[in-house]
Amino acid sequence: MQRAVGRGRAVAPEGETAPARAWDGRVHPVRDQEDRIDRAVRVVRDAAEARERGAVRDDGPSGPDGMDELSSLRLRLERMTALDKLKSDFMNLTTHELRSPLAIVYGYLSMMESGMLGDLATELREAVTSSIQSVELMMQLVTELVEMARLDETRLDPTRDPVDLTGVVAEAAVRVETSDRHRLHLDLGAGPAPVLGDRGQLLRVFANIIDNAIKYSPSGGEIGVRMRRAGRQVAVDIRDQGLGIAPSDMDRLFTRFGRIVTAATEGIGGTGLGLYLCRELVRRLGGDVTATSVEGEGSTFTVQLPAAPAGARARLTS
Ligand code: ADP
């Protein structure tokens, strides 16, 4: 639709001393049923107020107070930066304050479950076990929120230490809890696979994706982890034979709090932050995390990272 945009200044009626106001006017054509323009509506807004709300694009200096578009944008940027800092401080404070009490509750519940504090009746034991699962989920959420805040802080400058990805993937596979329904099969190839990054963060990326492969394969099956060295890239495929993901849900996989809740997954706990964090982290190192899936048959998640330059091998940590 075509729009005419006008700009002007409303002058106070004679005798009144109110300051003149700048206005922005837009003409919106109104069409009849045959799509012919038969009327036009003019919408006039207070320019300062509209600019404040970001509703009007200003092409040059305007307004009675002489504030041009640049200073208005600068002001908004400053406000947004201050708000962003406030949000980060709030997140840091609350997440750190939540950690200690959660750890204490978790400790006591674990002692109760193990029988250290005396025998428990069956109903009480079940209640304790389910409380432990909820506290574990809260602890995971807190950890991921801390991780998210940390990612924001290091947005422009991620750690880039030389790290051997084979050691990281092998350790991640040992860390995750498997059940006797799952078979974990590792094929990491020969020799080291040096990349640049933060070892602890990379460990969490792989532990998270392997853990998901197990979690979303409730009937069991094989979890295959295969490393490929392709030119200047290192890629790791994590393949499961689990629930899979519907094509319509694929674009929500890596979004913040992007849980996909279906009849099959509603009993499976999670925060919806894991994959978002994994991809953000890997992307900041110049790589990517992608997924393919067939609903009902399983999924493959691929983590791909640039191989470290030859000089970095000498400083490699496994
Ligand atoms: P969550 O904490 O919910 O597991 P993630 O960010 O790790 O959060 O994953 C987001 C969503 O993606 C999950 O809720 C789940 O529905 C889906 N998902 C992740 N991994 C798999 C997988 N291997 N198989 C099927 N669905 C998966």
Match domain 161-317 to its CATH number in 3.40.50.300, 3.30.2420.10, 3.30.565.10, 3.40.50.150.
3.30.565.10
The residue whose CA is least distant from atom 13 of ligand 1 is 259
Cα four-point dihedral sign 299, 201, 96, 110: positive
More confident residue, 34 or 19: 34
Lowest-confidence region among 70-74, 89-93, 298-302: 89-93
Model-level pTM greater than 0.85?
no
54 close to 77: Cβ distance less than 8 angstroms: no
Q: What is the pLDDT of residues 160-216, one digit of tens each?
A: 999 999 999 999 999 998 788 999 999 999 889 999 999 999 999 999 999 999 999
| Whole-Å CA distances, 294 to 193, 239, 248 | 30, 11, 11
Q: Is 207 in the pocket of ligand 1 (CB under 6 A)?
A: no
List the chain domain ranges: 2-62, 82-152, 161-317
What is residue 271's three-state secondary structure? coil
Please tell me the distance between residue 220's alpha carbon and the centre of ligand 1 in angstroms. 16
259 pLDDT more than 60: yes
Residues 268 and 254: their CA atoms lie apart, in Å, by: 18
Report angle CA 38, 43, 44 to the nearest 5 degrees: 145
More confident residue, 112 or 28: 112
Mean pLDDT of 262-276: 91
173 close to 210: Cβ distance less than 8 angstroms: yes
Which atom of ligand 1 is nearest the CA belonging to 271? 2
Residues 100 and 106: their CA atoms lie apart, in Å, by: 10
Q: Is 212 in the pocket of ligand 1 (CB under 6 A)?
A: yes
What local confidence, expressed as pLDDT, does residue 202 receive?
96
80 pLDDT more than 60: yes
Q: Which residues fall within 8 angstroms of residue 281, CB to CB, at 6 or more apart?
A: 151, 158, 201, 202, 205
What is residue 267's three-state secondary structure? coil
Q: Is 260 in the pocket of ligand 1 (CB under 6 A)?
A: yes
Q: Is 162 in the pocket of ligand 1 (CB under 6 A)?
A: no
The residue whose CA is least distant from atom 4 of ligand 1 is 270
Lowest-confidence region among 12-26, 135-149, 175-189, 283-297: 12-26
Question: In the structure, what pLDDT confidence band is assigned to residue 100 with cuts at 50, 70 and 90?
Answer: confident
Best of 137, 138, 253, 293 to mutate for ligand 1, by most ligand atoms within 8 A of CB?
253
Please tell me the distance between residue 296's alpha carbon and the centre of ligand 1 in angstroms. 14
